[in-house]
Amino acid sequence: MSSPEQPRGQNSRTRKMMESANGETDETSGLTTPRSHEVPLCSSYENGITRIPEEIRLGDPEAYHPKAVCIGPYFHSARNSPSFRRMEQHKRWCVNRLLERSSHSLEPLVQAFLLRLSKAIKTKSFLQLYSGPVDMTEEEIGMMLLFDGCFIVHFLLRHDPNKGAEHEYWTKLDAGLLDHDYGTHQWERPWEWSLVAIDMLLLENQIPFVAVRILFDILKTEHDEAVDLTACARSMFNKYLPAGMRTSTRPIRCHDARCLLQLLYRSLLPNPKLRSDLMEPPPRPPRTGIEPAKKLDADGVSITRRRRRRWWWPLSHFQEPFTFLDIAFSHGKLQIPQLEVSDASIQLLQNLIAFEKCYEGATTCHVANYAAFMDALNADHHDTEMLRRRRVLDVRSTSPQHEVSLRRRCKQDVDPSSENYLGRVMVDVVLYREARASRRKTQTTPMSDTMFFVVLAVTAYVFLALCWYIVS
């Protein structure tokens, strides 16, 4: 097996491979691997993986910058900095590991990968995969996609929910049960994998998922035939994402994913089966958004945490799964799934909202509308404290400044239009409050009559008692 380190002649060989890939030749230098039928993705990549507009970035620049691993070309210049050097070493280890387990070598892998990727994206230049300016050559882009793609493939295989061969291998390796040279990553900081997982979901820290699919298809072994990359991704999300951001179980095809962030986004969308009218336009557009939590509570709207049934509950297997976006209102109860409020969850929300804004027309605005709804509900620290007591917000900081970080850093304007997926909920809350206020008003007169008769009865009782006292 050849090493993934790039020798001096590697660039010229890569250039020849690129020329071969951009032509009509189907030669793969003897690498024989079952080929899947790639779906042309020209339309999906018309605008490429985008950069975040400055007006969005200026709100919180650090929210869009990785901390542990660089993926893709936008942070390519930072790869050799101390913060990212460990993961760059680990990427080389991942390439070696995938080549070793599949009995392939590097050069045929490069040629097969570039050929199939070029045919899949139907373009003459890999630079067209990114809409922002990229300070890299065509050859550097190709090798970057290969190394970053192998890193992602291996990371996903480690989180196979069926606990396949690579999951078992990594478990033993991490526990020190295998006698292998893994000096670059004897982890003294296991929490760093959480940073890696979050970094892989930042909007600008992406590579096209088609590259991941092609590498997996070339490098998979007989033990990987049953592996579903989307299931591995969801398993990874559910392990490392903040509490409350569990994904749904609705099927998503690998071919429909532009990148890992889009796969996460589609896994978090609200479940329309939970309420048949949830995604339908409300009977009338809400006049306003949603009132703060304390005011709603004073008006008789009970705010509670939406719970999943326990595993031992007889009907738990029949319960439709829901994500943190699935807010419901019924019989005076506003049920909101619990969300962990931490730097990680706020960062993910910001990148998901940026994803919606950058790919407007290809996405919904559900995450932005959710953030706006929660911002309005969590208007000040009194609302925050009430939502904490009701276990709607799980704030992972004792700093008062961080308690309202959801409102401070994800601030959105509440959209009261019928296009808002929470428009129905807001209308139902308004109608409930109006009906309750109306009942109070109609009960005012009967209550006055009752008080009159109570006073009359008490007066009569006192008068009779006084008469009895005089007679006696």
Q: How much is the average pLDDT of 76-87?
A: 92
Q: How much is the average pLDDT of 285-312?
A: 81
Q: 47-51, 117-121, 307-311, 321-325: which has the minimum mean pLDDT? A: 307-311
Q: 40-44, 233-237, 338-342: which has the minimum mean pLDDT? A: 40-44
Higher per-residue pLDDT: 271 or 159: 159
pLDDT, position 286: 61
Residues of the chain with pLDDT > 90, as a percent, come to 40
The tens digit of pLDDT for each residue in 137-150 reads 889 999 999 999 99
Q: Name residue 328's beta-bridge partners.
A: 335
Q: 33-37, 332-336, 407-411: which has the minimum mean pLDDT? A: 33-37
Say if residues 239 and 231 touch (Cβ distance below 8 Å). Answer: no
Taking 80 as the threshold, does the pLDDT of residue 374 lie above it? yes
When pLDDT is cut at 50, 70 and 90, the band that residue 124 belongs to is low
The tens digit of pLDDT for each residue in 378-387 reads 888 899 899 9
Q: How much is the average pLDDT of 106-135?
A: 87
Burial pattern 421-449, b for ≥16 Cβ within 10 A else e, equals bbbbbbbbbbebbeeeeeeeeeeeeeeee
pLDDT, position 37: 41
Taking 60 as the threshold, does the pLDDT of residue 251 lie above it? yes
- Rounded distance, CA 247 to CA 326, Å? 12
Mean pLDDT value across the chain: 79
Surface-to-core class of residue 469, CB atoms within 10 Å of its CB (0-12 exposed, 13-18 middle, 19+ buried): exposed
Q: How much is the average pLDDT of 302-325?
A: 68
Q: How much is the average pLDDT of 124-133?
A: 83
Taking 80 as the threshold, does the pLDDT of residue 87 lie above it? yes
Taking 90 as the threshold, does the pLDDT of residue 91 lie above it? yes
pLDDT, position 13: 53
pLDDT, position 280: 58
Q: How much is the average pLDDT of 223-249?
A: 88
Q: How much is the average pLDDT of 278-285?
A: 58
Taking 50 as the threshold, does the pLDDT of residue 394 lie above it? yes
The tens digit of pLDDT for each residue in 191-215 reads 788 999 999 999 999 999 999 999 9
When pLDDT is cut at 50, 70 and 90, the band that residue 457 belongs to is confident
pLDDT, position 171: 78
Q: 169-173, 284-288, 338-342: which has the minimum mean pLDDT? A: 284-288
Burial pattern 261-299, b for ≥16 Cβ within 10 A else e, equals bbbbbbbbbbbeeebeebeeebeeebeebbbbbbebbee
Surface-to-core class of residue 234, CB atoms within 10 Å of its CB (0-12 exposed, 13-18 middle, 19+ buried): buried
Taking 80 as the threshold, does the pLDDT of residue 431 lie above it? yes
Say if residues 362 and 372 touch (Cβ distance below 8 Å). Answer: no
- Rounded distance, CA 345 to CA 81, Å? 26
Higher per-residue pLDDT: 162 or 250: 162
When pLDDT is cut at 50, 70 and 90, the band that residue 315 belongs to is very low
pLDDT, position 4: 56
Taking 50 as the threshold, does the pLDDT of residue 43 lie above it? no
Higher per-residue pLDDT: 65 or 276: 65
pLDDT, position 454: 76
